[in-house]
């Protein structure tokens, strides 16, 4: 049995409770060593065999899994953030399917959430943006033409751009030619939630310069959009004059009711 576990963005206490338990019970851990915090492995059993997949091919990963499976071991495949984003888990799941090896996924906190936390930002602000585009610049992995940064930029929505810190000049050009004003707020969040985290506020135009000055070349997310400006409309959800499924509208600001959570 293999469990794909989201390791979270970096801080060793930002893995889920379930993920941590799975690591404690694992006989074999194959972790994405390029980004997963090795401190997460301190909780593993002394007898646990640990492999760093940064140095392995898919075939080698599968060999370790196959061998472990014949010995009925608990296997954890530890991926950074949440495995559903740029995690290359589908190709592993398909191979496991073919080999008749059972698997499941334990989600994790993606780095785009840790970046929002580092920025004290809300990606979806009423009157500003109600959508988040998660994307990347084309690199060695191509991006379908219809998903160009330029075409997404035309929506003016919040964008979180992965895997593109080495291409910030081109990214700026794409964002601006797609429709963002040059002075649209942007941020570079380096190693969100790690002790060495850096938050660099800038504009769409100054992305490359800002990263250069701070010496940031990788392991960063680029956040773009007017939500970083701090202007917005108040939410309807907590508006006293708005009725929701749980609360009746009232014209005055009442006292909050305390909920009794004891049985
Ligand atoms: N599955 C991961 C993403 C893997 S792709 C997730 O959900 O976060 C690897 C890219 O993610 C990096 O190049 C970088 O752009 C981003 N990344 C991962 N961890 C990060 C962190 N702690 N801070 C900023 N960016 C991070």
16: domain CATH number is 3.40.1010.10
pTM: 0.93
* One domain, residues 54 and 143: no
Is any atom of ligand 1 closer than 6 Å to the C-beta of 62? no
259 is a domain residue: no
> Tokens 């390791």 belong to which residue?
7
- Give the model confidence (pLDDT) of 131-151 as tens digits: 999 999 999 899 999 999 999
Q: Is the pLDDT confidence value at 30 over 90?
A: yes
The predicted pLDDT at position 178 comes to 97
Q: What CA–CA distance (Å, rounded) separates 48 from 108? A: 22
Average pLDDT, the chain: 95
50 is a domain residue: yes
235 is a domain residue: no
The predicted pLDDT at position 242 comes to 85
The predicted pLDDT at position 263 comes to 60
Of 7, 77, 81, 137, which is best to mutate to test ligand 1, by the most ligand atoms within 8 angstroms of its C-beta?
Answer: 81
Q: What CA–CA distance (Å, rounded) separates 6 from 162? A: 17
The predicted pLDDT at position 248 comes to 86
* One domain, residues 120 and 214: yes
Q: Is the pLDDT confidence value at 258 over 90?
A: no
Q: Which of 82, 108, 134 is the last residue of a domain?
A: 108
Per-residue confidence band for 252, with pLDDT thresholds at 50, 70 and 90: low
Report the b/e string of 193-230 with b at 16+ CB within 10 A. bbeebbbbebbbbbbbebbeeeebeebbbbbbbbbbee
Q: Is the pLDDT confidence value at 40 over 90?
A: yes
Q: Is the pLDDT confidence value at 260 over 80?
A: no
Question: Which residue CA neighbors atom 6 of ligand 1 most closely?
Answer: 81
* One domain, residues 19 and 115: no
- Give the model confidence (pLDDT) of 92-106 as tens digits: 999 999 999 999 999
The whole domain housing 88 covers: 1-108
């Amino acid at each position: 049995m293999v469990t794909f576990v989201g390791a979270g963005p970096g801080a060793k206490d930002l893995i889920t409770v379930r993920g941590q338990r799975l690591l404690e019970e694992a006989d074999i851990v194959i972790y994405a060593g390029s980004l997963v915090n090795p401190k997460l492995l301190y909780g593993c059993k002394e007898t646990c065999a640990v492999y760093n997949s940064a140095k392995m091919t898919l075939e080698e990963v599968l060999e370790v899994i196959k061998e472990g499976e014949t010995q009925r071991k608990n296997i954890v495949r530890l991926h950074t953030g949440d495995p559903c984003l740029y995690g290359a888990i589908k190709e592993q799941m398909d191979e496991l399917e073919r080999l008749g090896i059972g698997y499941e996924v334990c989600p994790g906190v993606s780095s785009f959430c840790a970046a929002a936390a580092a920025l004290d930002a809300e990606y979806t602000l009423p009157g500003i943006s109600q959508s988040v585009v998660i994307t990347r610049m084309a690199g060695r992995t191509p991006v379908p033409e219809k998903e160009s940064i330029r075409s997404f930029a035309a929506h003016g929505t919040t964008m979180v751009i992965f895997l593109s810190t080495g291409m910030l000049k081109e990214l700026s050009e794409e964002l601006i030619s797609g429709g963002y004003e040059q002075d649209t707020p942007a941020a570079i969040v380096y190693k969100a939630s790690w002790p060495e985290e850096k938050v660099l506020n800038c504009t769409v135009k100054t992305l490359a310069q800002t990263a250069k000055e701070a010496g940031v070349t990788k392991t960063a997310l680029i956040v773009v959009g007017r939500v970083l400006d701090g202007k917005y409309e108040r939410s309807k959800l907590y508006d006293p004059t708005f009725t929701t499924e749980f609360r009746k509208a009232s014209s005055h600001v009442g006292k909050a009711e305390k909920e009794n959570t004891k049985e």
